[in-house]
Amino acid sequence: MCRMVVFAGSCIKCGGYFTWDDLTQELPCLEAKNTGIFGYCSRGAFRDEHQFDQECDACAVDEDEGVGDVDANSSDGRAGKDDSHRKKKRQRTK
């Protein structure tokens, strides 16, 4: 039987109830591993739910921006901007 470990709980900041998808672990049994599909076995998947409180993504992002990173103001294409920013920094230190 496969085991799906799910963590769910309340956000310690806004109090909302969330399932923490990032922490979800799928532990396939040998039978499911052979088929390559999680839960595809004679006994199916068992959902093992744990209580876990942490900041939700929205609150965590809020805090990041609160630190005062100017780049964080434009959330669109943040990854690309971070990259160019990093390159600039590297040139400066040379």
| Residues in touch with Zn ion (CB under 5 A) | 1-2, 11, 13-14, 29, 32, 41, 56, 59
- Distance in angstroms (rounded) separating the CA atoms of residues 62 and 64: 5
**Residue 44 CB, nearest distance to Zn ion (Å)?**
7
Question: Measured from the CB atom, is 6 or 59 closer to Zn ion?
Answer: 59
Minimum CB–partner distance for residue 49 and Zn ion (Å)? 17
Q: How far is the CB of 58 from Zn ion (least distance, A)?
A: 5
Secondary structure of the chain in HEC code, one letter for each residue:
CEEEEEEEEEECCCCCEEECHHHCEEECCHHHHHHCCCCCCCCCEEEEEEECCECCHHHHHHHHHHCCCHHHHCCCCHHHHHHHHHHHHHHHHC
Residue whose CB is less far from Zn ion, 20 or 81? 20
Compute the least distance from the CB of residue 78 to Zn ion, in Å.
Answer: 20
Of residues 49 and 58, the one with the C-beta less far from Zn ion: 58
